[in-house]
A and B are shown apart, each in its own frame.
Chain A
Amino acid sequence: MALCVAVRHSSHTMKNPKRNIYTGIILLLICIGVYFSFTTSKDEQLQVGVVLPITGKFADISEDVLNAIALAKDRFVELSVSVEDSAGEPSKATTALINLIHIKKSKVILSGPGGSTSNTAMMPIALKEQVPLVAVSSASALRGKEDYVFTAYPFIQAETDAISARLTSQNKKTVSIIYDASSDTQVIGVEIFRRSFEASGGKVILAETYNKDIEYRTLTSKLVRSNPDAIFVLAADKITGQFVKHIREQSYTDTIIGFSTAESDIFLTTAGMYANDFETSSAPFSCDRNQHTQKYCALYRARYSKEPTAFGAYAYDALHLIAVAYETCKDRVNIGLCITSADISTSSLTESFSLDKNGDLSGNVPIHMKKVVDGKFVLIR
């Protein structure tokens, strides 16, 4: 600082104006250098690569995740984050991953949510390159991989079990399901649900699949005309909204239930007046839960003028976990060894955020059920 003051003083006293300018610029550069030497240098930051479906069929989900990552970057200054688009496609996801590892020199990768096949496709590369991959994904193929692959989203079984229990408690005996056959998570989710629901005395009478399309009327007609006690929709929020709209338009008045990906403003917008009474399992994130969530939600609303979702909260927690692991280890070669042992459970945004010995979000995550009442998701007590 003293040097800088001296610069200012000397510039007043010197006679040659051109020389003054040059000297001023040089000393200004020195001042800037001195200033940045006291802040975190780039070398001291951990390079974190993020692979997200910013475009494509899961683009809606990524908006909230990107917002959450921006907030996390402001808080965890020891992390330097680079984002690449996977478009929700395995080939683009693997290209993005390779770019991050070899060009951006990322030491840790955060991926998802949206596109379990993309996350699964990245796994062998992460294992081969020995770069930790923290996936905000419930894809079963990623689980149990220990040192280099971590999952930071509840396994789908937690949700399908909760949905099965909810339908059983409502005395629903028959269920028709619609799901995306190209999603590993949804295919496995249907099988787990079927086992759980049929073990409780229920029966899955129709399991219909879909591809992304302009409209889904005939598929929903098949669901409605199979006369089930309930319809279970496994799809992202936007498509779930379209399904619910089509199903209700065909005068189906019984229960329609979905899973946590449906819990968003996009679902409410898409389903419109038909959103009410839709039920969904809900990932354990609520703005009112504690001071951390309140602060996060207040910041989020102030900056983005919208409500945060659980996906963003899990991505934020995952970055928090990486930051704590980095602080603990300072081992930039294999930070993965510290991720499993890092503990943020007391300050995480989502409930019970801790990894088990395999590096996966522990199985005892509390899953709540919610219902849309007057255009809002409310907890079912």
Chain B
Amino acid sequence: MSIVPQLIVNSIIAGSIYSLVVLGFNLIYGTTKFFNLAHGVLTTIGGYTAFYFSQKLEWHIGLSIVLGVIVSGFIGYLLDKGIFLQLRKRKASSMVLLVAALGIMTALQAIVAIIFTSQFQTLSSGLETKVYDVAGGVITNIQLLILVSAIVIMFGLAILLKYTKFGKAVRAVSDEETVAKIVGINTDKIISWIFIIGSGIAGYAGIMVGLDTGIEPTMGLALLLKGVIAAIIGGVGSIYGGVLGAFVLAFIENFGIWKISGEWKDAIAFGVLLIFLLVRPQGIIKK
């Protein structure tokens, strides 16, 4: 039996996971123009919040997922209000914001490890896993959920940004924050909402990874790295570009290790990143 159908399915699953990370990341970057490295730890927070409610308090998994998304969004809001907004007000450079985000990521990751220990946990215990055969490749119900939700969130965000008043305000802030302020847009409020939505999506990504494989305090960094690579490949700040980059990365990674050893997977990912930085730094779709 050929391995190709399974590799395609694997690539689609991996691409969906990367998409969930890059959607929130690109949304925040597209509006604020800074690399929010703290985005990674929000996936961890989402995963652990859902874990706490579903496994420790034994609440319904659906409710736990919703709470995970809300808590991640709220933490994202607090980070913006408490740290990033203050730094922006002081005209901090992108480098300062980047370092602050890295510090936040490290600190929150440590706090999660202290509260929940470094031990690997899973969100799927008690859930029934169903396996479907799709043209010679297998996919589980949870992986299907990841794929469908990545598509739904992508189109949801695109509609939100293109057809709503809020979306127009976001685009205005993204294009020129000062002008947006002059025309009466409350830019701080818009950016706060962007952080809430982007962080909520990150939290959802962490929950989906938790359902598919499991969670651990350091999971955010690995997800963030893949998300950032996908963003650069697809086009930083672009919703469609990010998703396209996620799937391109996933297909290259998974087909790349078809004939060579699996330990080269990260080297392949970073090799692709370097090629894009050299040849097409604006990514596939320029925002």
Q: Which residues of A does B touch, CB under 8 Å?
A: 54-55, 59-60, 63, 178, 181-182, 208-219, 221-222, 225, 238, 241-242, 245, 249-251, 266, 269-270, 272-273
Contacts and interface: CB of A to CB of B under 8 A. Distances in A.
A266 B119 CA distance: 8
Contacts of A217: 10, 13-14, 254
Given A218-B7, A270-B214, A63 B119 contact: yes
B119 A214 contact: no
Nearest to B214: A270
Contacts of A222: 3, 257-258, 262
Chain B interface category by residue count? 35 or more
Given A211-B263, A245-B213, A249-B138, A269 B120 contact: yes
Interface in B33-57: none
B121 interface: yes
Contacts of B3: 221-222, 225
A249 B7 contact: no
Contact of A214 (B131, B140, B226, B257): B226
Given A60-B119, A181-B261, A218 B214 contact: no
A238 B6 contact: no
A282 B31 CA distance: 54
Given A181-B263, A217-B14, A218-B262, A270 B120 contact: yes
A72 B40 CA distance: 39
Those 7 A-B pairs whose CB atoms lie nearest each other, nearest first: A59-B118, A238-B120, A217-B10, A219-B262, A225-B3, A209-B263, A221-B6
Given A209-B263, A218-B253, A269-B120, 7 more contacts: A181-B261, A212-B222, A215-B213, A222-B257, A225-B3, A270-B213, A272-B124
B120 A60 contact: yes
Contacts, number: 102
Interface string B110-127: 000100011111101100
A320 B263 CA distance: 39
A217, A251, A266: residue with the most chain B Cβ atoms closer than 10 Å: A217
B279 interface: no
Contacts of A215: 13-14, 17, 212-213
A335 B103 CA distance: 44
B262 A214 contact: no
Contacts of A216: 262
B257 A218 contact: yes
B219 interface: yes
Nearest to B139: A249
Contact of A60 (B14, B17, B118): B118
Contacts of B117: 63
A273 B138 contact: no
A249 B258 contact: no
Contacts of A266: 119-120
B5 to A, nearest CB: 10
Given A60-B120, A272-B125, A218 B213 contact: no
B223 interface: yes
30 contacts: A55-B118, A60-B118, A60-B119, A63-B118, A208-B262, A209-B261, A210-B262, A214-B17, A216-B262, A217-B13, A217-B14, A217-B254, A218-B257, A219-B257, A222-B257, A225-B1, A225-B2, A225-B6, A238-B216, A245-B213, A250-B6, A266-B120, A269-B120, A270-B120, A270-B122, A270-B213, A270-B214, A272-B122, A272-B129, A273-B129
Contacts of A250: 6, 138
Contact of A221 (B7, B17, B120): B7
Nearest to B209: A214
A297 to B, nearest CB: 20
A53 to B, nearest CB: 10
A251 B118 CA distance: 31
Interface in B68-121: 113, 117-121
B258 A211 contact: no
B266 interface: yes
B114 to A, nearest CB: 11
A23 B47 CA distance: 59
A209 B262 contact: yes
Nearest to B13: A217
B171 interface: no
A4 B226 CA distance: 68
A222 B260 CA distance: 11
Contacts of B138: 249-251
B123 to A, nearest CB: 10
B125 A269 contact: yes
B280 interface: no
Contacts of B223: 214
B254 A218 contact: yes
Nearest to A207: B261
A380 B247 CA distance: 45
Nearest to A217: B10
Contacts of A59: 118-119
Nearest to B119: A60
B173 to A, nearest CB: 32
A206 to B, nearest CB: 10
A239 to B, nearest CB: 9
A242 B254 contact: no
A221 B120 CA distance: 23
A60 B218 CA distance: 12
Interface string B197-226: 000000000000100111010010011001
Contacts of A251: 131, 138
Contacts of B131: 249, 251
A307 B263 CA distance: 33
Nearest to A250: B138
Contacts of A178: 262
A221 B2 CA distance: 10
B56 to A, nearest CB: 14
A280 to B, nearest CB: 17
A95 B39 CA distance: 31
